[in-house]
A and B are shown apart, each in its own frame.
Chain A
Amino acid sequence: LAKITQPISMDSYEGQEVNITCSHNNIATNDYITWYQQFPSQGPRFIIQGYKTKVTNEVASLFIPADRKSSTLSLPRVSLSDTAVYYCLVGDRTGKLIFGQGTTLQVKP
């Protein structure tokens, strides 16, 4: 099974750009990389998904290098409401879904 690794926690200040990197060795050719956000007492919520290079939507960007063994979620100009746990999700070679352990982002004023 693929091993997904991401930092346990990160701190930032309002207005800063935050980059969270996920390591996913053994990623399969057909696998996509997805990021989810989770607030306390809620279910995870989809943020962004990509396969390679760069994807951008209204809330985040996702950077994936050519070897696809890692990915970086970029949150521009974070606010206090971005304080949450961020999960990286990838499939392994058997087609199962594997979540990283989550990165707790604390945004300070």
Chain B
Amino acid sequence: DTAVSQTPKYLVTQMGNDKSIKCEQNLGHDTMYWYKQDSKKFLKIMFSYNNKELIINETVPNRFSPKSPDKAHLNLHINSLELGDSAVYFCASSDQGNRFRSHYNEQFFGPGTRLTVL
């Protein structure tokens, strides 16, 4: 069973379009994340979210928005796509539990979605 899954695996689209990437985790975790990995393999966190709090990296354009229909899903919506949005997007999840708040519980990553904007 796949712990963290993402769809689609590949997404090719035109500039200006709106697209979504779906993420699901079956680990029962309470916190989910979205990361962007650029062509130089640099990983940058975009959002972290649990059922209580959304933490947004302030460098992320507001064209990007996470949507969580339930605890097991965190989808990423992107409006007005730009060439610079081309990257691999990873979803991840972790169990923060009742511990003192920390972002350092082990994160489980999905396989990634390669987005190409033409």
Q: Are A102 and B110 in contact (CB under 8 A)?
A: no
Q: Could you tell me if B45 and A96 are in contact, using CB atoms closer than 8 angstroms?
A: yes
Contact status A97-B106, CB under 8 Å: no
Rounded to whole Å, the gap between the CB of B95 and the closest CB of chain A is 12
Query: Contact between B111 and A101 (Cβ–Cβ < 8 Å)?
Result: no
Size band of the B side of the interface? 20 to 34
Instruction: Tell whether, in the assembled complex, residue B43 and residue A31 are in contact, meaning their CB atoms are under 8 Å apart.
Output: no
Q: Decide yes or no whether B40 CB sits under 8 A from chain A.
A: yes
Question: Closest A-chain residue to B41, C-beta based?
Answer: A102
In the complex, are the beta carbons of B90 and A46 less than 8 A apart? no
- Judge whether B4 and A32 touch: CB under 8 Å: no
Mostly, the B contact residues are loop
**A44-B103 Cα distance, complex, nearest whole Å:** 16
- A-chain residues with CB within 8 Å of residue B40 when the two chains form the complex: 101
| Closest Cβ neighbor of A91 among chain B residues | B103
- Does B112 contact A99, Cβ atoms closer than 8 Å? no
Query: Quick check: A32 and B112 within 8 Å, CB to CB?
Result: no
Residue of A nearest to B57 (CB): A96
Q: Measured between C-beta atoms, what is the minimum distance from A51 to chain B in Å? A: 9
B37 vs chain A, min Cβ distance (A):
9
Pick the residue among B42, B92, B103, B111 that contacts A42 (CB under 8 A).
B111
B109: nearest residue on chain A (CB-CB)?
A: A43
Give chain A's interface residue range (CB within 8 Å of chain B): 20 to 34
- Kindly identify, within residues 40 to 98 of chain B, every residue whose CB is under 8 Å from any CB belonging to chain A: 40-45, 48, 55, 57, 90, 92
B111 and A43: CB pair below 8 A? yes
Complex CA gap A41/B88 in Å reads: 9
Give B77 Cβ to nearest chain A Cβ, in Å.
Answer: 20
- For B90, B106, B110, which residue has the most chain A Cβ atoms within 10 angstroms? B106
Is B109 in contact with A45, judged by CB distance below 8 angstroms?
yes
Interface string of B100-118 (1 = CB under 8 A from A): 1011101111111000000
| CA distance in complex: A85, B43 (Å) | 12
- Given the contacts A43-B4, A44-B90, A97 and B103 also touching, CB distance less than 8 Å: yes
Check A99 against B42 for contact (C-beta < 8 Å).
yes
Contacts of A99 in B (CB 8 A): 42-45
Report which residue of B44, B90, B104 has the largest number of chain A beta carbons within 10 angstroms of its beta carbon.
B104
